[in-house]
């Protein structure tokens, strides 16, 4: 059998937080249902953050509750602190994702805390979830792990240190995020190897952006290093409001095309993703949509992995 690669669609969270307009809750739910119908089995549907900071996420509780009704879907919600994690669990999220910036500048801009202070916050979330929600998964993303638009170069040793501190705090699912899209394939390989040498199988995934046009190349480098979990966004939506210059995530459609063409199984139907683009466009008609597969069309040579 072909090897499975898991894709978590982050468009409804990472993508919409940078949208110029607010997508109606009904349209957002229809889009998420379309993604699930295409075979996407993990979707980060929103974040529990103050609506005054990111008004696009004000309806996350309602969206989580809707997404829970979709059969076979793992519903993920981002939470920057314990209060957010409690709200995510209360709404019914299957998994809570918590960001920890490696660079001090981004950590201050995004969370108003130092990286080490945010690691301590994660420790408190671990303790609370063990006591009150052991059935809910917890994952932590090491943001700006490959560079920062505020601080510039992020030392590899610092990425390893933060990842090790998170593992010591009890986190068993840790990802590396190229938040601003500055990484290159050689750097992906080097950082993945260094972090894995320190924390082993606790390193599970990559979250990549395409600012410099290297997103898919970086995904391939991660794949060759054994990563089997990737975040991506339909139509390449996304960015970070607290990271100047950051552009969209890698395109889900293009990532699925690459993986399936190489013989990896994603369980996702490309035609279904193209149909979901129409739902996205209907809900956000003014937003730019990206992707080579959608532009060129699915080639006649394409065969899904079995």
In total, how many domains does the chain have? 1
Instruction: Decide if 304 is inside a domain.
Output: no
Q: What is the pLDDT of residue 30?
A: 98
Instruction: Decide if 292 is inside a domain.
Output: yes
Q: What is the pLDDT of residue 247?
A: 74
Instruction: Decide if 276 is inside a domain.
Output: yes
CATH number at residue 51: 3.20.20.70
Q: What is the pLDDT of residue 122?
A: 98
Instruction: Decide if 72 is inside a domain.
Output: yes
Instruction: Decide if 303 is inside a domain.
Output: no
Q: What is the pLDDT of residue 115?
A: 98
Return the closest-CA partner of residue 68 out of 90, 47, 51, 92: 92
Instruction: Decide if 306 is inside a domain.
Output: no
Instruction: Decide if 1 is inside a domain.
Output: no
142 is an active site residue: no
Instruction: Decide if 151 is inside a domain.
Output: yes
Q: What is the pLDDT of residue 19?
A: 87
Per-run averaged pLDDT (10 residues), the chain, 306 residues = 92 92 97 98 97 94 98 98 98 98 95 97 98 98 96 98 98 97 97 98 97 96 98 90 74 98 97 97 93 95 89
Give the domain range for residue 84: 6-296
Q: What is the pLDDT of residue 244?
A: 64
Q: What is the pLDDT of residue 243?
A: 63
Q: What is the pLDDT of residue 1?
A: 53
């Amino acid at each position: 059998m072909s090897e499975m690669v898991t894709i978590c669609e982050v468009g409804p969270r990472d993508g919409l937080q940078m949208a110029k307009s607010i997508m109606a809750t009904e349209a957002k739910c229809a889009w998420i249902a379309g993604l699930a119908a295409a075979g996407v089995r993990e979707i980060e549907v929103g974040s529990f953050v103050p609506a005054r900071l990111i008004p696009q996420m004000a309806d996350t509780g309602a969206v989580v509750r809707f997404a829970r009704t979709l059969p076979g879907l793992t519903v993920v919600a981002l939470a920057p602190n314990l209060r957010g994690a409690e709200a995510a669990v209360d709404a019914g999220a299957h998994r809570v994702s918590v960001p920890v910036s490696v660079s001090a500048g981004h950590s201050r801009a995004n969370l108003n805390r130092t990286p080490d202070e945010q690691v301590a916050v994660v420790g408190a979330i671990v303790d609370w979830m063990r006591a009150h929600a052991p059935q809910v998964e917890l994952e932590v993303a090491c943001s700006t792990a490959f560079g920062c638009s505020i601080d510039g170069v992020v030392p590899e040793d610092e990425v390893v240190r933060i990842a090790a501190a998170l593992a010591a705090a009890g986190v068993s699912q840790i990802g590396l995020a190229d938040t601003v899209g500055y990484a290159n394939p050689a750097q992906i390989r080097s950082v993945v190897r260094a972090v894995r040498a320190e924390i082993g199988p606790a390193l599970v995934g990559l979250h990549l952006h395409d600012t410099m046009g290297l997103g898919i190349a970086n995904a391939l480098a991660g794949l060759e290093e054994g990563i089997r979990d990737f975040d991506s966004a339909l139509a390449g939506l996304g960015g970070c409001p607290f990271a100047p210059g950051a552009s969209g995530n890698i395109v889900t459609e293009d990532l699925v095309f690459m993986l399936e063409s190489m013989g990896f199984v994603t369980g996702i139907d490309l035609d279904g993703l193209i149909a979901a683009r129409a739902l996205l466009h209907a809900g956000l008609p003014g937003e730019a949509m990206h992707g080579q597969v959608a532009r060129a069309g699915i080639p006649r040579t394409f065969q899904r992995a079995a």
